[in-house]
Amino acid sequence: MAGKQIDFPPLQKEDSRVAPFMLALSLVCIVIVVVILLTDLDGPFIGPWG
């Protein structure tokens, strides 16, 4: 196999702000879900439980 060599592009450097932002977004989502469950809202989007 004397074909062309595959050239891989250089690895992209990860932005240092991505991980903290995603962690904060996850925590915000968790807080929203906990608040919805604790307030025991009776809405069409919540579901039949509660």
Task: For residue range 8-31, list pLDDT tens digits in order.
Answer: 888 878 788 888 999 999 999 999
For residue 33, what are its two tokens? 């879900």
Q: What is the distance of C-alpha 40 from the center of its chain?
A: 25
Report the percentage of the chain scoring pLDDT > 90: 24
**42 touches 50 (CB < 8 A):** yes
Q: How far is CA 31 from CA 14, 27, 43, in A?
A: 27, 6, 18
Please give the model's pTM, rounded to 2 decimal places: 0.53
